[in-house]
Chains A and B, each alone.
Chain A
Amino acid sequence: MRLWRVVLLVNLSLGLGLLLGYLAWGRESTRLAGELEIARRQQVVAGVERTWQVRGVVRAVLPELNVVVLTHEDLLGFMGSMTMGFRVHDPKLYEGLDIGDRVRFTLTGVPPNVEITALAKEAP
C-alpha cells in the first residue's frame, strides 16, 4: 500500500477512535448522572424509613405545636446543619428541657415526615 494511504488510514482510525471514545464517554457520564439522580431520590423519597442520631442545641420548645426547635448537625442525605423545628413523638421527651440545652437526639421517619423519637441532654 502507498505510504500516504497508510498515514491517512492511521489518522482516520485515530480520529474515529477519539470520536467513539468521546461518544462512549458522553453516554457513560449521562448514565452515571442518571443513576446518581435516582440514587439521590431514592435516598430521600423512596419511602424508606431512616434514622439519624445527631447533636444539637435547643432553641425553642413549642408545646402547643408539639415541636422542639434545634440548631442541629448535618442529617446526612436529608438536610445540612441548620435551625429547624421537629415534631416530637412523645411530649414527655421535652419535659424538663431548657432553652440552650445541648442534646443528643434521634430522628426517625420517612423524609420529610420525621419526628424526634429519643432525646437526651448532654453534660454541659
Chain B
Amino acid sequence: MTQSLHRAAAGGLFMRHIRKAFAGVAALDGVDLTVHPGEIHGLIGENGAGKSTLIKILAGVCTPDDGEISVGGRVLASVSPAAVQQEGIRFIHQELHLIPHFTVAESVFIGQERSHRWGGLNRRAMRADSEAFFREVLNIRLDGNRLIRDLSQAELKLVQIARALIDGEARLVVFDEPTAPLEAREAALLFDAIRALKARGIAIIYVSHYLNEITQICDRVTVLRNGRQVATLDEVKAEDVDRLIALMVGRELTTLFAAPAAQADTSVPWLTLENGGGEAFRQLNMQLFPGEIVGIAGLSGSGREQLIDTLYGLYPLRQGTLRIAGKAVKLRSPVQAIARGIALVPRDRRHHGLIQPLSVADNINIASPQSLSRFGWELKEKARKNALALAEKLDIRPRNVRQAVRYLSGGNQQKVILARWLNSHSQLFILDEPTLGVDVGARAEIYHLTRQLADKGRCVLVSSSDASELIGLCDRLLVMRRGEIVADVPTENLTQDGLLALTSGGSEQETPL
C-alpha cells in the first residue's frame, strides 16, 4: 500500500484568480494559491476572510465565478466532490464523523472494505493494512482492533487521517483546524504525523487559528483578508507571529457602539466563580459586576462555549464554587438558572432561542407569563399590548406581533429574544454570538440595546468570536485558551492585534510543545 503513495510526487496544486461572490458581495476576489508537493502551506485569516470559501471551492462543494484549478499540471475541467477525490485531494474536516462502536480497522476502511475472493470481509487484511499504515506512514502504533469509543482525541484524528489516505492515492491533504480539540501533547503527536506525510511528498494545506502552530509547522503561509490575498510568505519563523497578525487584521473599529452612561460600580460582584472546573475548562476565576459588559474571547476549543453553557445550567460545575448575589448556588438545569436571574440569548437562535411557529407576541411573552395571566388564563389583549410596546421600543420589523416569528430576518429574530428577556426580571444576560449572521444596521441596534441593559444595572456577558465586536461592545474581556482564562483585561486601549495575540497565544513566547 505504501508503494502506491508514489502518485504524490507527480505535481502540486495551483489555484488561479479564484473569484466568488455571494449575493453581490465578494467572498473571494482573485485569490492565487500554489502548493508544491512536500510542502506544508498555512492558510490563515480572520473569520469571514474567505478561508472556508476557498476550501469549499477546492472541495467542489461551491462553484467559483471565475478562476481555474490545476493539479499535477492538468487543469480540472469540472470540480465536483467526486472529481476532486479522483485527483487525490483529501480533506480532514474538523468534525470526526466516526462511529463509536466500530474498530479502528473498520473505520479506516469504511466504504472501501477488503473482501475475500468468496465474498466475505477480510478483517485480517484490513487490520494488518491499517496497522501498517499507522506504523509506516504516520509513525505511530495503533491497534486496529480497538474500538473508536475507547480512543483519545488525538488517536481519533489519526484514524480520520488514515481513512482519507488509506487508498494511497492522496496527493494533497487539507487540514481544517486539526488541533482544536487536542491538548498540547496530543497536538505534537499530530504534527509528527503531518511531517511524515510531507516527507512522502504529499502537499498539505493547513488551516488554523493558532498562529504559533502555523509558524512551527508551515513552510509557507498565505494570508487572506476580506476575500483578498494579502500576502504569501515564502518563509515563516516563530518571530513572524506579530507580522501575521498585522496582515490578518487591518480593519478599523466603526462607531457601531454606544458608550456607557456611567462607570460601572465594581465593588460588589453579582456573580463570582471561584476555581471553577467543568466540561472543558478548569481553575476558572471570574467576577461579574452590575452595569458592566464583560466579553469572553477564545478560539473554538478554548472552553468558551462550555463555560457559558455551564453558567446557564446545561453542564454541571464539577469543581469550585459559584456565588450569585453572595450566596453559593448550584445550577442543575436552565430552569434553575432562570429562577436565579440568568438569561441566555443562544447562538443558534433558530433552534434554541425561538419557537418558530409561534407568533412574535407569544415568543416575547413566553419568559414572563405570570403577570399576563389570571387564574391560569392568558390575558390575550394585555399580552399583545405588552409585546407591541416592546416591539416598538426595539424597532422589530414588521411591527405585526401576531406574525409567526419564522418569517422575520435574523436581526429581527435576535431582537425578539432580547425583548423577551427585557421583559423578565433577569439580572445576568448571557449573549452567545449575538450578531452572528446579522447585518450591520441591526447589529448597531443590538449593541445599543445591550448597553441599555448594562446601564439599567444588569450584568452582561458576551461570548463572541468577532474581535471588533468584543473590543467595541465590552468594558472588560476574559480571554480563554485551552480551558483556562489567560487574561482579564479592560478593552480600553486594547487593539485587535493585541486581542488576537492573546487568543492565539501569539506574542507571548509560549509554545504548545
A, B: real partners: no
